[in-house]
A and B are shown apart, each in its own frame.
Chain A
Amino acid sequence: MDLRYTEEQQAFRAEVRAWLAAHAPHVRLEHFDASREGFEAHRAWERTLKSGDWGMVTWPTAYGGRGLDLIQWLIFEEEYYRAGAPGRVNQNGIFLLGPTLIEYGTEEQKARFLPPMAAGDEIWAQAWSEPQAGSDLAAVRSTAVRDGDDYVLNGHKIWSSRAAFADWAFGLFRAPGSERHKGLSLILFPLNASGVTVNPIQKMNGHVGFAEIFLEDVRVPAFNRLGAEGQGWEICMATAGFERGLMLRSPARYQVAAAQLAALFRSCADRVDPALEAEVVRAWMNAEAYALSIYATASRLMAGGTIGPEASTNKIFWSELDIHLHQTALAILGPRAELLPAAPDAGGVGDWLEDYIFALAGPIYAGSNEIQRNIIAERLLGLPR
């Protein structure tokens, strides 16, 4: 137990900080889910990141990464959020599919898919849920039928983040006649393939980052199957582990927000309910606890450990702290909290409202918190199904 950065780690932080200061945009880009322009502005930023070799720092250098360890990754993320750099439009790719490809992909698949992912040339959507397969993901009905060297895909995917503007998607497809967790394969498909129709779905904040995807006799090479035929569920659960466990939400995101919340409270402490101070302190403690937990997990993984069902506790914790933090900000803003950025008197209200609305989705996506609580109860505490 030694909670001090080494000199090398401090030098690395300084290097990241200097690069971001020179390259990160000084204005907030339009959200990547708000419009095609916003999406493409974020793609351009991904290319800038790649030009500095910062696209995906934990990946091996052979696949377009920087080959850094998890502590360096945390330092990178801390500096990234401190700098207010743009959101990662390709997070489905770089944080979810990427690690899965590295673990389950063939060398040919890694060489084909990872470098353009790290470079922002191919931006990924996920295609897991279906209208009748939400929390019960094993109820997916979309099919993949083998035909020579190809698969023919049919079905209907929904709640696909980024799919409105993305280039590629990955999803679960089943062999005809198979049931539940058996017979599922993880297959990658281009969203511009013949037979793919993407219908955007507007979110409550007006963004169009979701879509439903209709697949009608979509032909993809068998090369696009990740892992063995029928191994899809296992791989999907591993992907979910990355998502819930470590990489989906950097602690730095909440630590920056908590610091901004403290500044907001200080700036209007003379006119807000003093009881809110305790909520600001609570928000800071939550963000710190999440950071310390992730440092502990990263250290354990670097020492050869693995992520297990305890990953489900992470997803519950960060999604709930995010809502509490933003609720506290709105309570400090009081009657001005409802103002949209375009309102003439919106000066000083910042992005708290938009980020609050975004936070409301946290307990739902990446496996609802109810499902996470079932997982904790059954796999950590051994309660009966």
Chain B
Amino acid sequence: MNFTFTEEQRLFAETARSLLSDTCQPADLRRLLAEGGARDAARWGAIIETGLTLLLLPEAAGGLGLTETDFALIAEAAGYYALPEPLVESAGVAAPMLAAIFPGAPVLQNPAATLAIQHPINPFVTDADTAEALLLHHQGETHLVDRQAAKLTREPSIDPFRRLFRVDWTPAPATRIAEGSALWSAALDRGALFAAAQGLGLAQRAIDLAADYAKARTQFGKPIGAYQAIKHHLASAQVKLEFARPVVQAAAAVSADGDAYSRARVSHAKIVALEAADFACRTAVQVHGAMGYSWEVDVHLFLKRTLALTFAWGTPAFHRARVAHRVFDLPTGPDQTFAREPTHA
């Protein structure tokens, strides 16, 4: 039993944070928005060069063969900086799924290429227009389809950096690469897990923005952060975050088990991490007062990402039902915290 990260894991996460701190500040996001581009070529280039897209890929597919625990730390950083590029869904969800089927897939050999994934739990596909290929679901089958072979219709999102598309396509035997739902189940768990990890980052960012503002803004002759009303709002947000974090970390550690216990932990993580982010973002708006409601202040960038991720990769109701199965149909109690199905024991 060891609930700590290795030095290597901490260093890798620190590298990702530092890269995004240099290249993904709100001013960078606003510049990308003004230009109307899908991604920042320099930032995406740096992400590829650092190896972040190779992290979860097996060595057979030219990857680093690391684990969900490693990638969750990267996803947390992506949340903290509201990263626009599809690192999480392409490298965290779609690419490992394709690698599990076909490690030699040509699209995996090109580190600059991204994959988009149409999971049945999500009505739309993110970043389909910039993807080299699409992983599509059809009646339990998995299809790998060139982007040009599908018709994409943009569905504007409140989050200006989420590029959502309806995908219309025609399944053909030539595009089918696998059958069976286990791969889709694993993809759902990764999608939900890394959404939860982003939630941790989003929550901390909202709290940090609000704390900085509360130190600088004065009313009645002192910084508003000196008033207990403000302190207690932010402390409550931090408490929610502190008790979502170990759940996400535990979920990452067990998610590969793919049993009812690990699925419930992933769902638990998805619920509480996005709740923490939602509470933190709304608190940050309130602490900023009228400024918090403005386009000029950055809080809304994080609030909108939080809103989108709250319902992506399974709604709170979907995940609560999975936790309910764990609570009511499987053994509970203090000796069952780390329980797994016997095949994993």
Partner-B contacts on A (CB < 8 A): 1-6, 9, 13, 71, 77-79, 81-82, 251-252, 255-256, 258-259, 262, 265-266, 277-278, 280-281, 284-286, 288-293, 295-296, 298-300, 303, 310, 313, 316-317, 370, 372-374, 376-378, 380-385
CB-nearest residue of chain A relative to B231? A377
A60 → B minimal CB distance (Å): 22
The reply to whether A296 and B225 contact each other, CB–CB distance below 8 Å, is no
The reply to whether A1 and B3 contact each other, CB–CB distance below 8 Å, is yes
B308 → A minimal CB distance (Å): 23
CB-nearest residue of chain A relative to B67? A1
The reply to whether A262 and B327 contact each other, CB–CB distance below 8 Å, is yes
The reply to whether B333 and A313 contact each other, CB–CB distance below 8 Å, is no
Interface 1/0s, chain B 313-345, versus A by CB < 8 A? Answer: 000000010011001100011110110000000
A377 to B283, CA, bound (A): 14
The reply to whether B243 and A290 contact each other, CB–CB distance below 8 Å, is yes
The reply to whether A292 and B2 contact each other, CB–CB distance below 8 Å, is no
The reply to whether A281 and B320 contact each other, CB–CB distance below 8 Å, is yes
By a CB distance below 8 angstroms, the chain A residues around B31 are none
CB-nearest residue of chain A relative to B232? A373
The reply to whether B333 and A376 contact each other, CB–CB distance below 8 Å, is no
A372 to B236, CA, bound (A): 10
The reply to whether A299 and B242 contact each other, CB–CB distance below 8 Å, is no
The reply to whether B328 and A266 contact each other, CB–CB distance below 8 Å, is yes
Tell me which of A256, A313, A370, A385 has the highest count of chain B C-beta atoms within 10 A of its own C-beta: A313
Q: Given the known A-B contacts A255-B332, A277-B324, A293-B243, are A384 and B226 also in contact in the complex, defined by CB atoms under 8 Å?
A: yes
A285 to B246, CA, bound (A): 12
- The contact sample of 16 A-B pairs, CB cut-off 8 A, is A1-B2, A1-B4, A4-B1, A255-B332, A258-B332, A262-B327, A262-B332, A285-B272, A292-B249, A299-B2, A299-B4, A313-B238, A370-B232, A377-B234, A381-B207, A383-B226
The reply to whether B214 and A383 contact each other, CB–CB distance below 8 Å, is yes
By a CB distance below 8 angstroms, the chain B residues around A374 are 228, 231-232, 235
Q: Count of B residues near A, CB < 8 Å?
A: 50
B211 located at the interface, meaning its Cβ lies under 8 Å from any Cβ of chain A in the complex: yes
The reply to whether B253 and A3 contact each other, CB–CB distance below 8 Å, is yes
The reply to whether A289 and B244 contact each other, CB–CB distance below 8 Å, is yes
The reply to whether B243 and A3 contact each other, CB–CB distance below 8 Å, is no
By a CB distance below 8 angstroms, the chain A residues around B337 are 255, 288, 291-292, 295
The reply to whether A9 and B243 contact each other, CB–CB distance below 8 Å, is no
By a CB distance below 8 angstroms, the chain B residues around A378 are 231
CB-nearest residue of chain B relative to A373? B235
By a CB distance below 8 angstroms, the chain A residues around B5 are 1
Q: Given the known A-B contacts A296-B249, A376-B235, are A289 and B324 also in contact in the complex, defined by CB atoms under 8 Å?
A: no
Q: Which of B1, B222, B225, B327 contacts A3 (CB 8 A)?
A: B1
Q: Given the known A-B contacts A377-B232, A384-B215, are A281 and B323 also in contact in the complex, defined by CB atoms under 8 Å?
A: yes
Interface 1/0s, chain B 1-34, versus A by CB < 8 A? Answer: 1111110010000000000000000000000000
B271 located at the interface, meaning its Cβ lies under 8 Å from any Cβ of chain A in the complex: yes
Q: Given the known A-B contacts A82-B334, A292-B247, A384-B215, are A313 and B231 also in contact in the complex, defined by CB atoms under 8 Å?
A: no
B235 → A minimal CB distance (Å): 4
By a CB distance below 8 angstroms, the chain B residues around A278 are 320
A139 to B211, CA, bound (A): 30
Q: Which of B1, B9, B246, B324 contacts A5 (CB 8 A)?
A: B1
CB-nearest residue of chain B relative to A305? B4
By a CB distance below 8 angstroms, the chain B residues around A266 are 328
A285 to B248, CA, bound (A): 12
A369 → B minimal CB distance (Å): 9
A281 to B320, CA, bound (A): 7
By a CB distance below 8 angstroms, the chain A residues around B231 are 373-374, 376-378, 381, 383
A246 to B75, CA, bound (A): 29
Q: Which of B6, B228, B268 contacts A285 (CB 8 A)?
A: B268
B250 located at the interface, meaning its Cβ lies under 8 Å from any Cβ of chain A in the complex: yes
By a CB distance below 8 angstroms, the chain B residues around A258 are 332
Q: Which of A3, A251, A256, A281 contacts B250 (CB 8 A)?
A: A3
CB-nearest residue of chain A relative to B236? A373
By a CB distance below 8 angstroms, the chain A residues around B332 are 255, 258-259, 262, 284
The reply to whether A281 and B324 contact each other, CB–CB distance below 8 Å, is yes
The reply to whether A2 and B2 contact each other, CB–CB distance below 8 Å, is yes
By a CB distance below 8 angstroms, the chain B residues around A310 are 242
Q: Which of A71, A313, A382, A383 contacts B230 (CB 8 A)?
A: A383
Tell me which of A292, A298, A310, A376 has the highest count of chain B C-beta atoms within 10 A of its own C-beta: A292
A292 to B264, CA, bound (A): 14
Q: Which of A71, A284, A381 contacts B234 (CB 8 A)?
A: A381
A382 to B249, CA, bound (A): 26
Q: Which of A286, A300, A383 contacts B225 (CB 8 A)?
A: A383
A350 → B minimal CB distance (Å): 16
B254 located at the interface, meaning its Cβ lies under 8 Å from any Cβ of chain A in the complex: yes
Tell me which of A290, A295, A378 has the highest count of chain B C-beta atoms within 10 A of its own C-beta: A295
By a CB distance below 8 angstroms, the chain A residues around B333 are 82, 255-256, 259
The reply to whether A296 and B226 contact each other, CB–CB distance below 8 Å, is no
B53 located at the interface, meaning its Cβ lies under 8 Å from any Cβ of chain A in the complex: no
B229 → A minimal CB distance (Å): 10
B113 → A minimal CB distance (Å): 30
The reply to whether B3 and A295 contact each other, CB–CB distance below 8 Å, is yes
By a CB distance below 8 angstroms, the chain B residues around A286 are 243
Interface 1/0s, chain B 184-215, versus A by CB < 8 A? Answer: 00000000000000000000000100010011
Q: Which of A262, A288, A300 contacts B268 (CB 8 A)?
A: A288
User: Other than the known A3-B254, A78-B334, what 11 A-B pairs have Cβ atoms closer than 8 Å?
Assistant: A1-B3, A1-B9, A3-B250, A4-B1, A79-B335, A255-B334, A281-B323, A281-B327, A316-B239, A372-B235, A383-B214
The reply to whether B238 and A380 contact each other, CB–CB distance below 8 Å, is yes
CB-nearest residue of chain A relative to B344? A4
Tell me which of A77, A288, A290, A382 has the highest count of chain B C-beta atoms within 10 A of its own C-beta: A288
By a CB distance below 8 angstroms, the chain B residues around A259 are 332-333
B223 located at the interface, meaning its Cβ lies under 8 Å from any Cβ of chain A in the complex: yes
CB-nearest residue of chain A relative to B323? A281
